[in-house]
Structure 1
Amino acid sequence: MANVYDAAYNLEKAIRESDDYKNLKQFYENVMNDETSKRLFNEFRETQFQLQQKQMMGEDLTDADVQKAQMQFSLIQQNEAISKLIQAEERMGMILSDLNRVMMKPLEDLYGMPGGFQ
């Protein structure tokens, strides 16, 4: 009988050894080693977190909130190091989403989830 925890740890190891993860890690380090990129990235992440908190608490986003986020996003898109990091994050997110679908397949098959895990 397969030990699912061993398989999970093997999957973690495979993720860490993947080129996609290594690229993500390198792009993250590049951003963190450049003071301007690091400051822009951290400010953007803080704004994202604040907006998510507001939404989770049922608060409406103000025009000022939206404008601030748009301005910061525009700035980070112009920063090549951050832009590469965001692309690598998106790629890693897609991979993890795909892996999640694979792991949820037994439950989907068992329960016949409406619409599946698409």
Structure 2
Amino acid sequence: MTVNIYDNANEMSNVLKETQQYTAWQAAFDNIQNDETAKNLFGQFQEIQIAVQQMMQSQQQPKPEQEKEWDAIAAEVQKNELITVLLTAEQALNTLLTELNDIITKPVADSYAKLRN
């Protein structure tokens, strides 16, 4: 029997959309998209996350004024209920995805574990 792993992955993608974690995330995401203030603030927050990642990769330190600006936006994000709901839902979805990844990659992890024994 020939197995097309991509068919299984596409089926898993469809099933994922039916989970509580995904539907909660999608609802929270839609709420952000429908609120201009939250959408703009979340966009700024994402830009900061990218900038921080790039600086970390190039081993640069942010300037004090950057840190001050970032802290101000982070404080606004924490006050915005729509964004905090999204971030909480995103965390739950990421936990599910990590668990699924662990299941999918278990044969590889088991093989490497045998090397250590």
TM, length-normalised to structure 2: 0.86
The residue matched to 1:72 in structure 2 has which SS?
Answer: helix
Which consecutive residues of structure 1, in runs of 5 or more, have no partner in the other structure? none
Which consecutive residues of structure 2, in runs of 5 or more, have no partner in the other structure? none
Larger relative contact order, structure 1 or 2 (CA cutoff 8 Å, min sep 6) = 2
CA distance in 1, matches of 2:59, 2:21: 36
The RMSD of aligned alpha carbons is 2.0
Alignment map for 1:88-99 (pairs within 5 Å) = 88-99=89-100
CA distance in 1, matches of 2:103, 2:89: 21
Alignment map for 1:27-46 (pairs within 5 Å) = 27-46=28-47
Aligned to 2:48: 47
Paired residue type of 2:62: L
Alignment map for 1:3-22 (pairs within 5 Å) = 3-22=4-23
Structure 1 pair 22–110 and aligned structure 2 pair: CA distance change class (3 A): same
The residue matched to 1:112 in structure 2 has which SS?
Answer: helix
Q: How many residues align?
A: 115
Instruction: Give per-residue Cα distances to partners, 1:14-68, cap 9 Å, x unaligned.
Output: 1112121111111111111111111111111111111111111221233333333
Give the stretch that moved more between structures: 52-61 or 29-38: 52-61
Structure 1 pair 46–7 and aligned structure 2 pair: CA distance change class (3 A): same
Paired residue type of 1:69: W
Larger radius of gyration: 2
Superposed displacement of residue 97, structure 1: 0.9
